[in-house]
Amino acid sequence: MARWDVIIRFDEVTYWYVAPKWLLDETSFSVREGSKITLMGQNGAGKSTIFKMIMGEYKVNEWKIHITAGKHIAIARQVMHPEDKELTLSAYFRKYSRSDAHNIDRDIEWVLEAVDFLPPKEVKLQDFLTRVVKSFSGGQQARLLLAGALIQDPDILLLDEPTNNLDTAGIWHMTQFLQNYAGTVLVISHDAEFLNSFSDGILYLDVYTRKVEQFVGDYHDAVEQVERRIEAQNRENARIEKEIQANKDQANVFAHKGGKLRAVAKKMVEKAEELESMKGDVRREDKTIREFTIPNQEGIGGQIIQINSVQIIKNHQPVEKEVDISLGKNRHLLLSGPNGIGKSTLLESIAKGTAKWVKIGDNVKVGYYRQDFSTLDFSQKVYDCLFEASDRKALDKDLRSFAAGFLITGEIMNTPIGALSEGQKGLVMFAKLALEKPGLLILDEPTNHINFRHLPVIAKALDEYEGTMILVSHIDEFVWQVRIDEYLELE
């Protein structure tokens, strides 16, 4: 097969979970071999579902998906499967490798080097491979997700939010890898800067039309093309509207003259109706969540949290590090450090009240945004989750109106949280925090999975939060928009 031949083609594909609630409506697009394509769209539009359709996990309802015969597809998902977390590194790679036993050790070392995850020189590789996957941080697991896909030596590589949890060095390495990778790559990401560094095409899943628009170039090129299409369609619609009005005005004149002119008037009305059908739909942009605030807990003051010591991971061993951090009301702390140093572990221990040398003030309510959303009950419906967060005081119409600001519609309100996309779970989490009114807000990578259109709104809410906040984020552009009063570098 020659490079740039079509390797994936959707041919008027229609897909629905429950008819007639379509995810895709007669959608057609193609992907050429060797290209690096970005799949974009609003949270919940169905991007990850399209990946599952390509993988053969979901069967289309109508027409076909064509994939060149003999091509192997591998996917790096957003999160690690729970069963994979229990495996040793050696068992994890052997589960996904297609190599024979003789070559597996060589392949493991190659993929670890490819994702910049080889152990320090003082640690033997075989000893490193005995570690269990769940012992690694979220950022390290993100690298292992890519490594688990690469060890399959795929012809088509699918990456679902690959930069989530990665630190700056990890994102840079991922970018370099994709720029040099020779295979076909499809990427879902909300990180525009990351995408612009390697994409040569965009597939945009429109949540309104249920179709996929295809653009050449990176995200900025796609935006320009969309704007040109909108301007051209608006001009054409304005021309048609002018002609429609002229026909209606003339029809009104003829209708009152009687005789044969009434028949002419009727034809002119029919012509106006025909012209109306010719007007094209103007593409609607992704909706952005409404501005919101996270109210601070009332009735608390003084010292909210005191941190005298933290535990970090150095050379794969826990080490105590003395610090002196005291935060009162309306103080924001940025916690930073590379993947694997123990940031998420520290935040979790603070949120649970188990951190040995950390004291939280009496009666302080803690709001905890965990990056894997495990603080949410996935079996609970969204409505019940938010109603409980309001301390069961919100009126139905007020709660629904509030949720709508986070693009949580009536249909989503009645959906179990576990059935939502990762981006939708993130919006539910922010809505929950705003209803809880915490005195101490702990945020672990709150930009993961969130459509980048929403990030300035979220940053503004955090910037204006008048309580005490501890933030971990590797997205510099996001952090720059949030007021930071204290810094704690763990490295």
pLDDT in tens, 226-279: 777 767 777 877 888 888 888 787 778 777 776 777 777 777 777 777 777 666
User: Which residue pairs from 370-375 have beta carbons closer than 8 angstroms and sit at least 24 positions apart in sequence?
Assistant: 370/444, 371/138, 371/164, 371/165, 371/344, 371/444, 371/445, 371/446, 371/448, 372/79, 372/138, 373/417, 373/422, 373/425, 373/426, 373/429, 375/429
**How many CB atoms within 10 Å of residue 481?**
14
State the total domains in the chain.
2
Q: Which of 192, 222, 252 is the last residue of a domain?
A: 222
Residue 449 domain boundaries: 303-489
Asked if 443 and 333 touch (Cβ cutoff 8 Å), the reply is no
What angle, rounded to 10 degrees, do the helices at 104-114 and 138-150 form? 130
Q: What is the largest CA-CA distance in the chain?
A: 100
31 and 162 share one domain = yes
Q: Which of 202, 222, 242 is the last residue of a domain?
A: 222
Q: Count how many Cα atoms sit within 13 Å of the Cα of residue 387 in the half-sphere of its side chain.
A: 12
Encoded amino acid at 394, one letter: A
Please tell me the distance from the alpha carbon of residue 124 to that of residue 130, in angstroms, as a whole number.
10
Q: What torsion do the CA atoms of 390, 395, 399, 402 make, to the nearest 10 degrees?
A: -100
Q: What torsion do the CA atoms of 103, 108, 109, 113 make, to the nearest 10 degrees?
A: 140
318 and 182 share one domain = no
Tell me, yes or no, whether 427 lies in a domain.
yes
475 and 363 share one domain = yes
Please tell me the distance from the alpha carbon of residue 431 to that of residue 400, in angstroms, as a whole number.
11
27 and 162 share one domain = yes
pLDDT computed for residue 21 by the predictor: 56
314 and 446 share one domain = yes
Reported as type and span, the H/E element at residue 298 is none
Per-residue b or e along 1-39, where b marks 16 or more CB atoms closer than 10 Å to that residue's CB: eeeeeebbbbeebbbeeeeeebbbbebebbbbbbbbbbb
pLDDT computed for residue 74 by the predictor: 93
Start-end of H helices in 405-489: 410-413, 422-436, 455-463, 476-479
Phi, psi (rounded to 5 degrees) for 423: -65, -40
191 and 335 share one domain = no
Tell me, yes or no, whether 124 lies in a domain.
no
Tell me, yes or no, whether 96 lies in a domain.
no
pLDDT computed for residue 95 by the predictor: 93
pLDDT computed for residue 94 by the predictor: 92
Please tell me the distance from the alpha carbon of residue 416 to that of residue 402, in angstroms, as a whole number.
18
pLDDT tens string for the chain (491 positions)?
556 688 999 888 877 765 445 577 778 889 999 999 998 877 777 788 888 888 888 777 666 889 998 899 999 988 889 899 999 999 999 999 988 767 788 899 999 988 888 888 888 888 999 999 998 888 888 889 999 999 999 999 999 988 887 778 888 888 888 888 888 999 988 777 788 888 888 888 877 777 788 888 877 777 777 777 767 777 877 888 888 888 787 778 777 776 777 777 777 777 777 777 666 555 555 678 999 999 999 999 899 999 998 888 777 778 888 989 999 999 999 999 888 888 888 999 999 999 889 999 999 999 999 988 989 999 999 999 999 999 888 899 999 999 999 999 888 999 999 988 888 999 999 999 999 999 999 999 998 888 878 999 999 999 999 999 999 998 888 999 999 999 999 87
What angle, rounded to 10 degrees, do the helices at 138-150 and 89-96 form? 30
331 and 464 share one domain = yes
Which residue in 186, 159, 152 sits closest to 8, CA to CA?
186
pLDDT computed for residue 75 by the predictor: 93
199 and 312 share one domain = no
pLDDT computed for residue 20 by the predictor: 47
CATH of the domain at 324: 3.40.50.300
User: Which residue pairs from 408-412 have beta carbons closer than 8 angstroms and sit at least 24 positions apart in sequence?
Assistant: 408/382, 412/44, 412/382
pLDDT computed for residue 42 by the predictor: 74
pLDDT computed for residue 298 by the predictor: 92
Q: Which of 222, 248, 267 is the last residue of a domain?
A: 222
Tell me, yes or no, whether 116 lies in a domain.
no
Reported as type and span, the H/E element at residue 372 is none
Coil vs helix vs strand at 183? coil
Please tell me the distance from the alpha carbon of residue 50 to that of residue 27, in angstroms, as a whole number.
11
pLDDT computed for residue 280 by the predictor: 56
Tell me, yes or no, whether 144 lies in a domain.
no
332 and 456 share one domain = yes
198 and 309 share one domain = no
For the four alpha carbons of 337, 340, 342 and 347, in that order, the dihedral sign comes to positive
Coil vs helix vs strand at 382? helix
Asked if 292 and 405 touch (Cβ cutoff 8 Å), the reply is yes
Tell me, yes or no, whether 410 lies in a domain.
yes
Say how far residue 151 (Cα) sits from the centre of its chain.
Answer: 25
Tell me, yes or no, whether 260 lies in a domain.
no
Q: Count how many Cα atoms sit within 13 Å of the Cα of residue 196 in the half-sphere of its side chain.
A: 8
Tell me, yes or no, whether 394 lies in a domain.
yes
